[in-house]
Structure 1
Amino acid sequence: MSSSGAQGRSARAVAGTRTGGAGRLAKVLPILEWGRTYDRDVLTNDLVAAVIVTIMLIPQSLAYALLAGLPPVVGLYASILPLVAYAIFGTSRTLAVGPVAVISLMTASAAGAVAAQGTALYLEAAITLAALSGVMLAVMGMLRLGFLANLLSHPVISGFISASGLLIATSQLGHILGIPAGGDNWPEMLGSLASAIGSVNPWTMAIGIPATLFLFWARKGSKPLLLKLGLSARAADISAKIAPVVAVAVTILAVVLLDLGERGVNVVGAIPQGLPPFALPSTDLSLISQLWVPALLISIIGFVESVSVAQTLAAKRRQRISPDQELIGLGASNIASALSGGYPVTGGFARSVVNFDAGAQTPAAGAFTAVGIALAGLFLTPLLFNLPIATLAATIIVAVLSLVDLRTPGRLWRYSKADFAAHMATIGTTLLAGVEMGVIAGVAVGLLLYLWRASRPHAAIVGRVPESEHFRNVERHSVFTVPHILSIRIDESLTYLNARWLEEYVLEQVADRPAVRHVILMCSAVNEIDASGLESLEAINHRLIDAGIGLHLSEVKGPVMDRLQRTRFLDTLNGRVFLSQDRAFRELASNGGPPELPVDDAARGMI
């Protein structure tokens, strides 16, 4: 063997080791993956998308900070470093991270429980929430707990978002009407509005109502108009989405020209100019103990919302995201938000869609957006002094009412009463008791309904379809049966939740059929049998032995059979294990008495 050949293999091994190491590092830092292919064309697309999203994000960030009960500039702070952090650690190419409506509402609820709005402690609580949420998300990502998003069912998430949309829209009506209003739940908010309705400011209404109507129209009516004027479909769509900027500019101009500030119209006022300050979250254990549960709920809701948007957009370009790495990316974004004086952030649906439609190719578009927001913080904030609060409220109302889904309850009622119950329980609790209790109630109801369904699985008595080897439910099909055989198809794994139910069900069916001499459990849908399920099978076997009836199994899956073979159940089974239900039925149909044969050893492990 030549030394040159050995050296070649050694060099290839070293190169392979380096490639493997780089691949592992790229999983932790996705920027290393897409950064290798970054070129001028991608840069151009990302820059165009960043400009468009920046224009959209400035009024949104101010509005959502207002919703969170924070100074408007905090919304800008939460839209700079978090975007850079996500560009480094996130896996979605088009997800736009920043303040969103639901998380802003949850922040207001959590921070408002420990301090009054406008105080230093309130801002400290919001910053601490971002830090706690960031750490929780990052730890969950390191532990590869991305699957936890599956714990929140779609009906629960849909109900929570719809109810939150109603709460948010109601909370902003006071700003539209120019009256003081408050409350932590829907009855309190409505009562507060009703009690102050006599002090409506007409000048504020003259700003807020037209701005709201214009933004509603812009969502549906502006694109067709722009298309008629000759704009391309893409340009018309993007122009329609930056309508809030038009509303901001026009209402600022109205305030200046008509001197509406002197007529009682509330404006944003002075916004600190400059880059985000360095901030540290609180280390007060008493404050942390009050905030960790809300922070956990914010983390879960934010992650579910973000990963749903990211997966939807990635699928359109046949790309993939990693839920576990997304947890790390969102965790880094929230930690960055806390360190720059911001509050909890996540991936937003509206801005992510705009980012996607505008042609963003990589997360670098988010980093460029952060630069645009930073420049706005440095140079444009004086122009926002006369921005009416009513305009920001109108922006929020139009954005969140699009989240309210009025069709889902009807669909769920027709399809699944249990999912309808979870959906409505989430809506009702969120409206009446607040956002945190709404999430908890939705999860609790969903889990209880799941446990109830799992404890009463579907099972069917089956017979053979004539002139075939298929077996179907006797109540749904015209099938062939014989009096001395009872075939039961079990449509669920056998676990501690349903083991007792199966035992009672089988023995009840046997008691109703005196002629039965053989019971066949068709196990084609059984993926697992736990210890409790095994004990119930043993109990059924013993009871049937006492009654002179044989117990047989058919179509047992390989992994399930492997576990059964490690027990004594097959040795005590007074029937047989059949490869197929058809074979079991044919052989037992000619045998009217109890079985005398041992377990079919040849059939064990064949499936």
Structure 2
Amino acid sequence: MKGVFGRGVGWFLSQFIPAAQWLPEYSRGALQRDLSAALIVTVMLIPQSLAYALLAGLPAEVGLYASIAPLVAYALFGSSRTLSVGPVAVASLMSASALGQVAAQNTSDYLLAAMVLALLSGLFLFFLGVLRLGFLANFLSHPVISGFITASGLLIALSQLKHLLGVPAQGDNLPELMMSMYSGLGSVNVYSLVLGASVVGFLIWSRGAAVRFLQQLSVSKNTAVLLVKAAPVVGVVATILLASGFDLEGKGVDLVGEIPRGLPQIVWPTLSLELVQQLFLPAVMISIIGYVESVSVGKTLGAKRRQKIDMNQELIGLGAANIAAGFSGGFPVTGGFSRSVVNFDAGAETQMASVYTACGIALAAMFLTPFLFYLPKATLAATIIVAVLSLVDFSILKKTWQYSPSDFFAVLVTIVVTLLFGVEVGVSCGVLASVVLFLYRTSKPHIAEVGLVEGTEHFRNIQRHPVRTLPQILSIRVDESLMFANAAFLEERVYGDIAATPEVRHVILMCSAINEIDWSALETLESINAQLKASGICFHLSEVKGPVMDALSKSGFLDALSGKIFFTQYQAFTTLRDHFDGCPQ
């Protein structure tokens, strides 16, 4: 059946608005599946939006506002067809940390700062997307990000215990939270504790045993899995009834209270240079973390349907979503893992599912908010705690320790710094650790002396394989491009191997893994060539790639090379074994 929305969208629009690629072929079947997925995600998103707004230190309705316009904006500009954007736990915690430094909670300045933070995040992402800088995300180590998210998950869970205990507590890091919580233990509200603990228990049960329980009632497994996603709504409804029926507010249970009814107003946040300067760096950090996680989720879901996401377009899509949040009274948003998985599993085919979800949230903001007056904050805290516990993954420490001690150290430092000093310092440390780790590995590439595998034309590491070598020929393979950071390491290795084997008359640099040689590395190669030539040793290259050969030809290095360029390492070895007393011409 031809698309409901017709055909004929111009090429220009299809290049800059991904939605223009699938809208012309949007079918009734896709509409039905997207509506079904939107219904499930809407039910899941309402309590999450309220909870994450409170986590960010904002009024509950701001969470709803951040789940309307941003979803529509991403639907137009995002490249993933099933990624679901909105408020998420880590971005909310980072927002709270940033906003708390510039304004007091429950003030108009705090709300303004939240909008400016979202706007700055969006402009930063959009700017990177226009410049096609999506590749920069590759420089952020995923193990380091996992460590940061694990530590953030713990901080989020601890920060919500105050609502379960009914005690005042503050703090941006583990020591502050623990001390604040300890000082308030004498005023624990038993009703809040019982209520919150019950919801936590119910939500944990719903994630496991509830599926089996529904299957015993002849509900299919897939349907049961989707139904349990509505468990937070069941907790919300039940605790609202309890709070209103038993006057829990009079017993000291903290309630959400009155939530304004209606849609967010589109406004231009009042910008001041001082506020922009204070929030710019936190906005960059929130953008980076949100983008990396969104791309990770988008790639995972896209691969299941053989759909490819465009990393640069994702920058534009997420940037547009945050700009929309800034103009509609929201706060920073990004792609949510659990929400996107639910959207995918529920059958969503296109981003129209997100548009329908935005409509559902808008209806909730207009008609359901009066019923949320008696919603206990302990219920929302329980929802957050159960949600973020899935983010805590200390197994990353064991995995990295077994695989790479340098990765383990970077992850450990990120976790410890985040817990002790807060999310802003933690994410800064994570970015720095990723860069340092990259530079460390680049500065010490794998370099191996290679020899001929008998009966073949292949050369392998002499430390790993039984190979044939000659003392007069030193064959070295570098498994990395040569640049300023590692050129000296290669130079030291060559001179060290020559010193250990005085009989060497030929040095062959096997270049099969070298994709680029920068100017600093070229100068090092020139130095090596000159030093070897002065010592009566010929310097040769083998298996040089075309682009590298082009660069070397332009530099004049090949004219000064004491040896030759060989097409293969085997050709170099067999030619030179008969020329121990001089360089072949």
Q: TM-score, normalised by structure 2?
A: 0.97
SS at match of 1:343: coil
1:389 equivalent among 377, 384, 391: 377
Q: Quick one: distance in 2 between partners of 1:103 and 1:233? A: 32
Residue aligning to 1:471: 459
Residue 399 of structure 2 aligns to which amino acid in structure 1?
R
**What is the 5 A alignment of 1:129-208?**
129-208=117-196
Bigger radius of gyration among the two: 1
Q: Deviation digits for residues 98-157 of structure 1, max 9, x if unmatched?
A: 111011001101100111111111111001101111111112211112212212111111
Give the drift of 1:376: 0.9
Q: Deviation digits for residues 56-113 of structure 1, max 9, x if unmatched?
A: 1111100000000000011011111111112222222111111110110011011001
Give the drift of 1:24: 2.5
Q: Deviation digits for residues 329-354 of structure 1, max 9, x if unmatched?
A: 21221121121111111111111111
2:328 equivalent among 321, 330, 340: 340
1:425 is aligned to 2:400:
no
1:128 is aligned to 2:116:
yes
Which consecutive unaligned segments of at least 5 residues does structure 2 have? 1-6
SS at match of 1:552: strand
SS at match of 1:92: coil
SS at match of 1:180: coil
Contact 1:419 1:446 (8 Å CA) reproduced: no
Residue aligning to 2:99: 111
Residue 134 of structure 2 aligns to which amino acid in structure 1?
G
1:445 equivalent among 422, 426, 433: 433
Residue aligning to 2:291: 303
Give the drift of 1:385: 0.7
1:214 is aligned to 2:196:
no
Residue 457 of structure 1 aligns to which amino acid in structure 2?
P
SS at match of 1:242: helix
Q: Deviation digits for residues 518-554 of structure 1, max 9, x if unmatched?
A: 1111111111111111111111111112211111111
Residue aligning to 1:401: 389
Contact 2:57 2:105 (8 Å CA) reproduced: yes
**What is the 5 A alignment of 1:283-302?**
283-302=271-290
Runs of 4+ in structure 1 deviating by more than 4 angstroms, as ranges, are none
Q: Deviation digits for residues 283-333 of structure 1, max 9, x if unmatched?
A: 111111100111111111111121211121111111122222222221221
Give the drift of 1:218: 1.1
Q: How many residues align?
A: 579
Contact 1:486 1:516 (8 Å CA) reproduced: yes
Q: Quick one: distance in 2 between partners of 1:577 and 1:332? A: 52
Contact 1:30 1:89 (8 Å CA) reproduced: yes
Q: Quick one: distance in 2 between partners of 1:23 and 1:184? A: 49
Residue aligning to 1:499: 487
Q: Quick one: distance in 1 between partners of 2:476 and 2:203? A: 60
Q: Quick one: distance in 2 between partners of 1:227 and 1:191? A: 45
1:524 equivalent among 512, 522, 541: 512
Give the drift of 1:381: 0.9
Residue 335 of structure 2 aligns to which amino acid in structure 1?
G
SS at match of 1:184: coil
1:233 is aligned to 2:221:
yes
Give the drift of 1:213: 1.0
SS at match of 1:566: helix
Deviates most, 203-212 or 572-581:
572-581
Over the residues paired in the alignment, what is the CA RMSD in angstroms?
1.4
Contact 2:140 2:435 (8 Å CA) reproduced: no
Give the drift of 1:555: 1.2
Q: Quick one: distance in 1 between partners of 2:574 and 2:429? A: 51
Q: Quick one: distance in 1 between partners of 2:396 and 2:456? A: 41
Give the drift of 1:433: 1.3
SS at match of 1:174: helix
Give the drift of 1:183: 0.4
Q: Deviation digits for residues 453-487 of structure 1, max 9, x if unmatched?
A: 21122111111111111111111111111121111
Residue 135 of structure 2 aligns to which amino acid in structure 1?
F
Q: Quick one: distance in 1 between partners of 2:505 and 2:83? A: 63
SS at match of 2:219: coil
Q: Quick one: distance in 2 between partners of 1:172 and 1:430? A: 17
Give the drift of 1:251: 0.9
Residue aligning to 2:268: 280
Contact 1:125 1:282 (8 Å CA) reproduced: no
Give the drift of 1:358: 1.2
Residue aligning to 1:328: 316
Residue aligning to 1:38: 26
1:588 equivalent among 558, 569, 576: 576
SS at match of 2:132: coil
1:558 equivalent among 526, 541, 546: 546
Residue 385 of structure 1 aligns to which amino acid in structure 2?
F
Contact 1:554 1:584 (8 Å CA) reproduced: yes
**What is the 5 A alignment of 1:565-584?**
565-584=553-572
Q: TM-score, normalised by structure 1?
A: 0.93
Residue 393 of structure 1 aligns to which amino acid in structure 2?
A
Q: Quick one: distance in 1 between partners of 2:378 and 2:334? A: 25
Contact 1:276 1:341 (8 Å CA) reproduced: yes
Residue aligning to 2:230: 242
Residue 180 of structure 1 aligns to which amino acid in structure 2?
P
1:314 is aligned to 2:315:
no
Residue aligning to 2:529: 541
Give the drift of 1:32: 1.8
Residue aligning to 1:269: 257
Give the drift of 1:278: 2.8
Q: Deviation digits for residues 168-222 of structure 1, max 9, x if unmatched?
A: 0000001011111110111110111111112111111110101111111111221
Which consecutive unaligned segments of at least 5 residues does structure 1 have? 1-17, 599-607
Contact 2:449 2:475 (8 Å CA) reproduced: yes
Residue 89 of structure 1 aligns to which amino acid in structure 2?
F
CA 1:570 to 1:30, structure 2 compared with 1: closer, same or farther past 3 Å? closer
Deviates most, 329-338 or 109-118:
329-338
Q: Quick one: distance in 1 between partners of 2:70 and 2:317? A: 9
Q: Quick one: distance in 2 between partners of 1:140 and 1:453? A: 26
Deviates most, 385-394 or 303-312:
303-312
Q: Quick one: distance in 2 between partners of 1:467 and 1:173? A: 69
